[in-house]
Structure 1
């Protein structure tokens, strides 16, 4: 083997006695191939010389009638690259070129019309990676077979590419296999039943010689056994008798005669030893052969139907011929040997040792297992076509997202893959909706991961992102949707003045696509005055890149925090950033999810804001159930003037608080009403409730509040429940209508600011074990042994009487979701440090 000249565009030259082959390419792949190896396999007649680019080895090629060579070389064939192939006859022979896929085969033809002594063509494997097999014949006789290995340029082939396929194999019962693809990937024996006919045919094609050798060896030296047969014959022909013969004669004494004192029988049951091949093992051999013929028949029918009805062309003649030849050979052996007289096989409870030890039977049984079991991607045994790398990456992204979610949340619906299992392929159905539904055990909220959602219609051009994460949030009917779009593209040369960063990352036009997805996919809400509403809250590119730490400083990663659009590196060994974002999106409250999206200018003026200084709801308590019943029935409430400061006026609403100590541990706030009249009166004028004689306060001024009617708070509260007490209750308190409609327990009514409310909501979402401490000036929250204190413009995180983290309240107000995540990260870090 010789080294090609430096600077030559020739990648591979093969010279044989009959023909010469040259493969050229002007594009050199930009990347490090020093630690990567590729394989080149040649089978042919009279191979004289092989020249391979990018190698310094010289290997002599002996001019044998037939030779097999395997070379380990640096990668020279890559995706998305044009390769010119030239095949020239040395002796005027008519040449032909064959590849298992017609789109490759049809690109190579005669250089001049009608002259098949010179073939040429340009091959481009696009995004397809793996092994590709070429066969070149001269005058109809195969002279040379070439197997090349096509490498991806955006991922590492021996690691990421194989790991992607492993992940898919793990999640799907059969690897996504397409019989009509340009390249194939090697497979090894798996451990699951396989019903895919294309898989069966490809395996049988490779092992058929071994299969027939095993069958022929069985035919030449078959397993047999001796059996004893009995026959009634004249006594003079009987040669051997046994106990069965004696018992037969005892039952038939009329056949015996006595002559001259001698007892004799006219006829006897004689025993004969006979050789038979009708054994359980041979019946199983016949069953294997019959099932092979049946599967080949079914394959031919379905492959022909697939080629005509789905692929829109004629079936590959060589494939049909190979299938017919194999079927013919198997039937010939079955009908011209002892097997035609063997009985039908019935499943045995255990397998004979013959299939584990006897020559021929052992090999045939191994072939049978290979044919009847599923395949895992690996090894160098079987030729299988796989998806092109871009589509493989798209499939892997969905399946990996599914796998990440499945580990953290309860799977409800496993419908993640739709397959066409009655034809020639088993694939994820691109362009058709597939989804998986999960439940968050902490919140009870539903999580839906959708592949190829088909309903994303817009008022202009319909959009179809690859993956959409749909989240349900408590307290709202809004579905929060996020696009995770797989793009097998990367900007490896960020030096362009049009690229906004100096580090590798997603393509700019892909980022623009994310903007389009988020802004153009809308929902028609006929009940809303705005009519059309955006349904996508964020859009992210998943792209093949492995340096997550470096990418954290990339502009398109930071943009996720600011505008909720950007890119995330996603490969088998690089999933941390995606996992983190998924965790954040799912753990976000509905408020944080809303804050992640960008809003149009002026929207704040249109959104209703809560005035946290305005406490217009009086929370009224009772001294007895009778007092409550009277106020409820008469639609009024009364309170001493001394307990209501002037800045609390006017009172707009009254909520009735039934405390545990007065209502037998059945306390709650269930009813509230709108105040229509507030009058300052003497206590003595409130005659519906008699004055307690011990108090004698008839002249004390009271506010008598008349309400329009009492409403059930379960109709307006976000939770649909009453507000429960956590203590004996307050005397008189004030809150606002927002808190009254969004609180679960009474202490929540004391929250004093939007920042306190948002922090409490995030903390409550993260854990149900949260307490509120209110000391009238500052409010705090307790979670386990950690205390969160709002004090002097800061949020203090206190554990073991030490401040472990601080966050300015005004910073939290700007980005509550991200600020809270920083606090939780600090808590986790402290916990890990304490454990070490």
Structure 2
């Protein structure tokens, strides 16, 4: 390992080693051009501190508690070794980070405390504190530095990701005990610690307000007494014998104005339990108002919606205080537990909720930091939100009311509710779209299932057309990049030519990510009950999303040819103000989803004729229409005997050039054909179609390999042009012959109806066709 930083002070020498910093630094500088200085903080009062670093021209004597470097040193997903070499005997030394995994990575032996740390995808400020004992005296030291990302721009991309997530899912990006943290005191673009307390309060607030309402309907009351002095004529009720004797004595002596002490009893709600309810209501209001003030006074990336929600959360508590018995309760409160608080309905729930909230308050009153989820988690959530926003830009409207799409894990951290329960639903006309985060497909699935291992793709995009056709595309966010020779690590058997081609590429997705896309597509099976075809593959494409850096408006996606060929590939996706980092994905979804209701059948045909949907099992064929017919006329200058066979229905062969359709579609269409409806000239010289021929076999042959029986003329018998040669079976007679066949241009006689479409049609111009876009291309 190479030494990158050495800090020499009175008590110890602190050293940092690592491999790979140069490479990460090179990648970082290509992407991040905005920041110029990188600061490292450490404990004050460490005596004379001498710094050694390759980025400094000479050793530096530091007088302050921070070091400014001209170049970054600490990066994500990189292993660093830290060592404190003490200059005298110490009894004990340990790391006292709040994350146990960090503490367990270090060991103390003799005079050295040493350990390795890799923060993974956690970015932000990393604090490494230690405590060591010298005699009976304990000392502490900490060093704090910022972990920088290399795949995305810290100063441009991260704020956009934060802003998008906060707008859609406030509080989602905060973590409980991450290795790194964000400090509001260090940057205005960091999270506020109080928000994490708020995340815990959010799940309990409705239950808290509900129980306070129960209390206001039937508040606990106690008999209380007060001292009063009344004249004898004002006394009511039964008096004691002693008091009556005294009154008689005073009246006898003429003391008519004398007053006597009484202690009347009455029911009062001003009890310790009710004062407790009013006190915690005030405490909660003050805490949330403090958070609102911090959000309004600090420059941060939180949405205004969050502040509005906070105000609405305390509104019920304020209303209850003003409109209930609580407004007459005295504010003094001595905190102590009673049987009423522990057992009575309403009071007991409020009491237990407060005990939990109090722990969070006490914890965060002592801390001013909060951790963020790892950047890989944030990138995945941002990709999901980006797909949602693209659907909105394409004109789709959200159809279901906003559900609670957030839930909490065992650490009380907020996360997206996984699966189809938290999915977004959209409509455009009669087209329905469902966008789901991390749906889980298991062996027990009723509609889509696996047959062994459960699968959990990051994002599912499902489109359902009015004709009930359903398409599914899967996306998986991968916060990983492989560049140049790194790609070869997945396969050591690449040829030199492959190695050379890969080495010149930049920012590609790792190969195991593409392998995972194949797994998703092949593992998911659609089950059709009560159908002849019980099992089918529902996934039309699976794509990785990764933070590759490209000028997407100027270059093409390196995976586009693979996407077109097999429906597997990747899209580089990066946040940017002008959204240029989303161009490739936006173009893909626009092509697949931008169509109106009148064009739905054409769009269906296009999707089913694309290469990814046309890959059959070896030895079988793949077809969308099982009874597809092609209308086509006999070529010009054919022998009379050849034509007569079509009049009589005894023709065995038909041939046509392989270029009747565009190269992209020709073989796919021809391989799907089940029948030929061949137009021929009748004896009256009228071109008609009165029969359809089942196709026994189709072969591709050069013209010179075709016989006169198959072609009907001698022309081109030495040509090497390629033709389709159809072998025909006994024809099926149509009830009505079709007339009006266009013959001036050969390709105008080509249509692609189904067997059902052709029945009962009498005029060629009334005959409908499938694969309309393919025909338009063929007739150009």
Q: Normalising TM by the smaller chain, what interval?
A: 0.5 to 0.7
Q: Does residue 467 of structure 1 match 2:459? A: yes
CA change 1:506–1:46 in 2 (3 A) is closer
Once residues 433 and 141 of structure 1 are traced to their aligned partners in structure 2, the CA distance between those partners, rounded to angstroms, is: 55
Alpha-carbon contact 1:523-1:532 (below 8 Å) kept: yes
SS in 1 for 2:156: helix
Deviation at 1:595, TM superposition (A): 2.5
1:518 Cα deviation from its structure 2 partner:
2.8
**Match for residue 578 of structure 1 among 567, 573, 585:** 585
Q: Does 1:79 align with 2:76?
A: yes
| 1:505-529, Cα deviation, whole Å (9 max, x unpaired) | 3233433433343344333556666
Q: Deviations for 1:518-562, whole angstroms, at most 9, x for unmatched residues?
A: 344333556666654222111211110242426742431343334
Number of equivalent positions: 530
Residues 336-393 of structure 1: CA deviation (Å, up to 9, x unaligned):
xx9639999xxxxxxxxxxxxxxxxxxxxxxx999889x9xxxx98322333222332
What residue is the counterpart of 1:386 in the other structure? 372
| Residue 106 to residue 250, structure 1, CA distance change in 2 (3 Å) | same
1:141 and 1:543 map into 2 onto residues whose CA distance is 48
Match of 1:412 among 391, 400, 414: 400
Instruction: Confirm whether residue 609 of structure 1 aligns to residue 628 of structure 2.
Output: yes
SS across alignment from 1:168: helix
2:51 aligns to what?
Answer: 51
1:784-835 deviation line (CA, Å, top 9, x unaligned):
xxxxxx9xxxx7xxxxxxxxxxxxx2398xxxxxxxxxxxxxxxxxxxxxxx
- In 1, are the aligned partners of 2:628 and 2:755 still within 8 Å (CA)? no
- 1:224-623 map, 5 Å: 266=258, 287=280, 340=334, 382-406=368-392, 408-412=396-400, 414=402, 417=405, 419-420=407-408, 423-428=411-416, 435-455=422-442, 457-458=449-450, 463-477=455-469, 479-493=470-484, 496-497=499-500, 499=502, 502-525=505-528, 532-549=535-552, 552-573=555-576, 574-587=581-594, 589-598=603-612, 599-600=614-615, 603=621, 607-612=626-631
Can you list the C-alpha shifts for 1:700-730, whole angstroms capped at 9, x where unaligned?
A: xxx9xxxxxxxxxxxxxxxxxxxxxxxxxxx
CA distance in 2, matches of 1:26, 1:198: 44
Residue 149 of structure 2, aligned match among 131, 148, 152: 152
Distance 1:747 1:467, change over 3 A: farther
Query: 1:100 offset after TM fit, Å?
Result: 1.6
Aligned to 2:599: none
Deviation of 1:420 (Å) = 2.5
The Cα shift of 1:160 comes to 1.8
Residues 668-687 of structure 1 correspond to what in structure 2 (within 5 A)?
Answer: none
Distance in 2, Cα, partners of 1:107 & 1:736: 69
What are the residue-to-residue correspondences of 1:670-709 with 2, within 5 Å? none
Supply the RMSD in Å over aligned alpha carbons: 5.6
Moved over 6 A (4+): 56-59, 189-193, 197-200, 230-233, 248-252, 282-285, 288-292, 341-344, 368-373, 675-680, 746-749
Instruction: Extract unaligned runs of 5+ from structure 1.
Output: 1-7, 201-229, 234-244, 270-277, 295-337, 345-367, 615-643, 653-674, 681-702, 704-734, 760-789, 796-808, 813-836
2-side partners of 1:450 and 1:57: how far apart?
52
Q: Choose the corresponding residue for 1:102, options 87, 90, 100.
A: 100
Instruction: Answer yes or no: is the 8 Å Cα contact 1:564–1:596 preserved in 2.
Output: no
Q: Secondary structure at the match of 1:611?
A: strand
Encode CA deviations 1:640-680: one digit per residue, 9 max, x unaligned: xxxx996556499xxxxxxxxxxxxxxxxxxxxxx999799
In the alignment, is the contact (CA less than 8 A) between 1:481 and 1:536 conserved in 2? yes
- Residues 14 and 21 of structure 1 are in contact (CA less than 8 Å); yes or no, is this contact kept in structure 2? yes
- CA distance in structure 1 between the partners assigned to 2:413 and 2:500 by the alignment: 45
- Gapped runs of 5+ residues in structure 2? 184-190, 205-225, 236-246, 262-270, 288-331, 339-356, 443-447, 487-498, 596-602, 634-683, 693-731, 740-750
**How far does residue 567 in structure 1 lie from its aligned partner after superposition?**
1.6
Relative to structure 2, which stretch is displaced further, 97-106 or 407-416? 407-416
How high is the TM-score relative to the length of structure 1?
0.52
Distance 1:134 1:742 in 2: 78
Deviation at 1:576, TM superposition (A): 2.9
Instruction: State the partner residue of 1:13.
Output: 6
Q: Give the TM-score normalised by structure 2.
A: 0.55
Aligned-pair CA distance for 1:109: 0.7
Say if 1:811 and 1:551 are closer, same or farther in 2 by CA, change over 3 A: farther
Q: Is the 8 A contact 1:435 1:451 kept in 2?
A: no
SS for the counterpart of 2:334 is helix
CA distance in 2, matches of 1:50, 1:516: 55
| In structure 2, C-alpha distance between the alignment counterparts of 1:71 and 1:534, rounded to whole Å | 57
CA distance in 2, matches of 1:542, 1:741: 42
Give the conservation status (yes or no) of the 8 Å contact 1:451–1:467. Answer: yes
State whether residues 93 and 131 of structure 2, in contact with CA within 8 Å, keep that contact through their aligned partners in structure 1: yes
Instruction: Name the SS for the 2:590 alignment partner.
Output: helix
Establish whether residue 181 from structure 1 lines up as the match of residue 178 from structure 2: yes
Shift in CA distance, 604/395, structure 1 to aligned 2, threshold 3 Å: closer
SS at match of 1:538: strand
CA distance in 2, matches of 1:160, 1:491: 20
Cα gap change, 1:50/1:126 in structure 2, threshold over 3 Å: closer, same or farther? Answer: farther
Kept in 1: contact 2:754–2:770 (CA 8 A): no
Query: Partner residue of 2:129?
Result: 135
Aligned partners of 1:14 and 1:47 also within 8 Å: no
1:150 is displaced (CA, Å) by 1.0
After TM superposition, give the deviation of residue 417 of structure 1 in Å. Answer: 3.8
Q: Distance in 1 between matches of 2:103 and 2:11?
A: 21
Q: What pairs with 1:206-217 in structure 2 (closer than 5 Å)?
A: none
Partners of 1:286 and 1:73 in 2: CA distance: 53
Task: Describe the SS at the equivalent of 1:157.
Answer: coil
